[in-house]
Amino acid sequence: MAVTVGRVFLAQPCTSASFIGNGNGKHIHRTAFGFSAKPGAAPSSHSRIVVRAQERPTWLPGLDPPPYLNGTLAGDFGFDPLGLGEDPESLKWYVQAELVHCRFAMAGVAGILLTDLLRVTGNSSLPVWYEAGAMKFSFASTTTLFIVQMILMGFVETKRYMDFINPGSQAEEDTFFGLEAALEGLEPGYPGGPILNPLGIAKDIKNAHEWKLKEIKNGRLAMMAMLGFFVQASVTHAGPIDNLVEHLSNPWHKTIIQTLANSSS
């Protein structure tokens, strides 16, 4: 048995190897099996030198990302199959648009799950989330609420766009009723101040790469969750908590496969 193992070991024609610096300008040759040769010694004829650079993570392993996506943007994994970011100015706007969509999706997912949980547990008479927009309120008509929302959202989005065009312009004195310092942005897309950043997270936004990456990952997950909520509502005519409770009641027979099969029949 030992002889057989030894023959198999010696029969290997080549092994991966690497050169590792030892701190004094010399290099040590080390094979994949962990053996070291003397400094300056040439590798044996049965060894093969393999030089590997650290590969950048991409959305598809082995994919070469486009040159304009160089990994400096938060959450850049080289995904742009339509080439929308080839123009640098357009890429800047798409980055801001994705941030806004991510934040709305995260707020929407949290709101849907919370209100749906309250509704299912009987703690509230809230409607299912996709019917909430049809609710009537006694303090104002639907038309009034719509107009007020358009005015407020239009004002906020206009200021956001102006800050994108001219970074820092919205924090200048006398641009917002003396509240400029409280709303001062850290950089376009990342508002600051005690109102929009009360915890003081990532004040050094230029070096907050980890925080930016966490936000964009959570935001993309939330956008996928919202897409799932839309499909669920269309197919099952129920909220996400209702769907979860139904699935848990019979996990082997209440799945997406059976649901889609029943909806198509």
Q: Does 197 carry a binding-site annotation?
A: no
Q: Does 101 carry a binding-site annotation?
A: yes
User: Measured between alpha carbons, how far is 256 from 160 in angstroms, rounded to an integer?
Assistant: 40
Q: Which of 265, 232, 205, 32 is nearest to 113 (CA)?
A: 232
Q: Which of 191, 196, 244, 227 is nearest to 108 (CA)?
A: 227
Q: Which of 109, 105, 116 is nearest to 239 (CA)?
A: 116
User: Measured between alpha carbons, how far is 30 from 261 in angstroms, rounded to an integer?
Assistant: 58
The answer to whether the CB of 197 falls within 8 A of the CB of 185 is no
Q: Does 214 carry a binding-site annotation?
A: yes
Q: Does 247 carry a binding-site annotation?
A: yes
User: Measured between alpha carbons, how far is 98 from 83 in angstroms, rounded to an integer?
Assistant: 16
Q: Does 159 carry a binding-site annotation?
A: no
User: Measured between alpha carbons, how far is 50 from 42 in angstroms, rounded to an integer?
Assistant: 14
Q: Does 63 carry a binding-site annotation?
A: no
Q: What are phi and psi of 149, to 5 degrees?
A: -65, -40
Q: Does 27 carry a binding-site annotation?
A: no
User: Measured between alpha carbons, how far is 172 from 156 in angstroms, rounded to an integer?
Assistant: 16
Q: Does 218 carry a binding-site annotation?
A: yes
Residues flagged as binding site for chlorophyll a: 98, 101, 214-215, 218, 220, 232, 247
Annotated binding site: 98, 101, 103, 183, 214-215, 218, 220, 232, 247
Known binding-site positions for chlorophyll b: 103, 183
